[in-house]
Amino acid sequence: MYILGIESSCDETSASVSHNRKILSNTTINQVIHSEYGGVVPEIASREHLDLISKVVELALVESGIKIDNIDAIAVTNGPGLKGALMVGVNFAKGLSISKNIPLVGVNHMEGHLFSNFIDLKEIKYPFLCLLVSGGHTQIWNVKEYKNYELLSNTIDDAAGEAFDKGARLLGMSYPGGPEIEKLAKGGDLTKFKFPIAKIKDSVNNFSFSGLKTSLYYLIKNNNQEMINKNKKHIAASYQETILETLLQKMTFIADQTKVYDIFVSGGVIANMRFRDKISELNAKEEYNINCPSMKYCTDNAAMICMAGYEKVINNKFSDITLEVNPNLLMNQ
């Protein structure tokens, strides 16, 4: 089964070709233009996707060595994400589907992140927990079987990736903030500055990151520039450590509660090496079995869309030409 995957939900234009759960190619162009605006500008993202999409799809096909006529299904992200950006991918996929008579499958971007863990694996063992940590989402799901997902935890305000992005902006760094903070934090003192780990009284399972961002704001506001500049790497290290500790504490708390100890972590934030190291340390204690996708499949990519598309195809869940984009598409829809 050959699948062409297309992803355009935010600021990466990506296409991939897969054979069953094996990825044959994955071409991603990151729209660096947004870094000068301090965040993704939706109109610019749509325009960039329009300029790039046919070239990216062609490159992915060439790299895979598979001709479009041999593709069995086109999987395309139809939500969640930026409406205009999603429309570029979905309309392109529809055009290709009609002109080449290839079945179409609409894929949930977050389900893509979830299935990015299974690239190159022969089988998927249920149940497991999935911690999804991206720029817009911080959630923990109990994945009982295919399409039987229970949301156990969600953020009540900012997502973890957003906490990195907003923190980086406060520290005068560009978008995306995660890799910037990670770079700056190298060699910094993890405990020099105390940031709060939010505890939400009436919903202990949920996350909150807005208080953390506010405390960074006041740290910068209440101290002189010289002190901040001198301590920037320690501030970044302590701030990063607080985000990662918050994620891991909640995740293990929920694993103990549900007694599901097989855990997958996916989404852009798992590209963070300190996060991956902390997970390795936790795994060494042998209480939890925590897995993450390989680095190249952490941030947005179409390989993960091929994977989630493949699950849909083998479960006979095709879309038709009326497929619509849904910026707020939920995982269990």
Strand order in the sheet with 12-19: 22-30, 12-19, 2-7, 73-79, 104-108
Minimum separation from the CB atom of position 300 to ligand KG4 (A)? 4
Minimum separation from the CB atom of position 259 to ligand KG4 (A)? 28
Using CB under 6 A as the criterion, what x/- string covers residues 179-198 for binding ligand KG4? x--x----------------
Interaction residues for Zn ion, span 280-319 (CB under 5 A)? 300
Cα dihedral sign, 33-37-39-45? negative
The verdict on 153 binding Zn ion (CB under 5 A) reads no
Tell me the window of 45-53, 119-127, 217-225, 263-271 that interacts with ligand KG4 (CB under 6 A): 263-271
Cα dihedral sign, 301-239-276-129? negative
The verdict on 299 binding ligand KG4 (CB under 6 A) reads yes
Reported as type and span, the H/E element at residue 6 is: strand 2-7
What 3-state DSSP class applies to 98? helix
What 3-state DSSP class applies to 287? coil
Q: Which residue, 296 or 317, has its beta carbon nearer to ligand KG4? A: 296
> How many residues in the chain?
333
The verdict on 134 binding Zn ion (CB under 5 A) reads yes
Instruction: Tell which residue, 119, 146, 127, has the closest CA to residue 262.
Output: 127
Minimum separation from the CB atom of position 101 to ligand KG4 (A)? 31
Q: Are 135 and 10 in contact (CB under 8 A)?
A: yes
Binding residues (CB under 6 A) for ligand KG4: these are 10, 134-136, 161-162, 164-165, 176-179, 182, 267-269, 271-272, 299-300
Binding residues (CB under 5 A) for Zn ion: these are 134, 300
